[in-house]
Amino acid sequence: MQRRLFAVILSLFLMVCLTSPAWAGGLDDAKAGIAAAAGGDFDKAIRLFTKAIASGELSRENLSIVYDNRGIAWWKMGDFDKAIADFNKAIEIDPKNASTYYNRGHAWGAKGDYDKAIADYTKSIKIDPKYAFAYYNRGIAWGKKGDYDKAIADYTKAIEIDLKYADAYNNRGIAWGKKGDYDKAIADITKAIEINLKFSDAYNNRGIAWDKKGNHDKAKADYAKAKELGYK
């Protein structure tokens, strides 16, 4: 049932990170790296960020941001060890940036180390208690470890922060289903669909819950809708 993992939220953070910093003048490689990453050319972005780092022209704040963004680019390229190395460097320079811990948590999760992922998401939340994405992804990590009660608690917190967080409703529904409470699963996944009427994964997940309850007609209807929306 659970298909939406770390990459969804990471890509959302990427756009925030790339558009937010106030860069010092003359740091053309850093700016070009941002543009390349925004356009999806992560190989070029890595080369440009590396040049910016080597230039010696970056302030400590901007150096941390560039390491963070190069880490995201490595993550997108599938090199999670290099991503973690860059996130480590960014944290060494600026240990109070919630987003960098959050990003490193994604990388640990991609490597299957959910304990380290949870530790990083927890650090991120301590710095920014309103970080809905961090709660959501920590919930995913708890689910991967089979602790659905903690997953539900984190999804609930994410929803409290963002009442329109369709993915959090969907994943909380999945967690309820894992605990065998299909009524709560259906209620949460239905809420996700109400927020996002084109949420194909949610229709499929609700179909699974209907199947578990023995209502195969409703399950078939949801599977058909999921397929219509492009679910594979």
Residue-wise burial string across 88-125, b where 16 or more C-beta atoms lie within 10 A, e elsewhere = ebbbebbeebbbbbbbbbbbbbbeebbebbbbbbebbb
Which domains are delineated in the chain? Answer: 1-128 (1.25.40.10), 129-232 (1.25.40.10)
Residue 232 makes CB contacts below 8 A (sequence gap 6+) with: none
Residue 59 makes CB contacts below 8 A (sequence gap 6+) with: 24
Burial (Cβ within 10 Å: 0-12, 13-18, ≥19) of residue 26: exposed
Q: Note the pLDDT of residue 4.
A: 34
Tens of pLDDT, residue by residue, the chain (232 residues): 433 333 333 433 343 343 334 444 438 899 999 999 999 999 999 999 999 999 988 999 999 999 999 999 999 999 999 999 999 999 999 999 999 999 999 999 999 999 999 999 999 999 999 999 999 999 999 999 999 999 999 999 999 999 999 999 999 999 999 999 999 999 999 999 999 999 999 999 999 999 999 999 999 999 999 999 999 8
Q: Note the pLDDT of residue 5.
A: 32
Q: Note the pLDDT of residue 152.
A: 98
- Are the CB atoms for 69 and 37 separated by under 8 Å? yes
CA atoms 209, 150, 16, 47: torsion sign: negative
- Are the CB atoms for 166 and 192 separated by under 8 Å? yes
The closest alpha carbon to 158, from 147, 149, 169, 150, belongs to: 169
Q: Note the pLDDT of residue 232.
A: 87
Residues 55-111 have pLDDT tens digits of: 988 999 999 999 999 999 999 999 999 999 999 999 999 999 999 999 999 999 999
Q: Note the pLDDT of residue 12.
A: 34
DSSP 137-171: HHHHHHHHTT-HHHHHHHHHHHHHH-TT-HHHHHH
Structural tokens at position 152 = 């539900």
| Sole residue written with tokens 């819950």 | 209
Question: pTM above the 0.75 mark?
Answer: yes
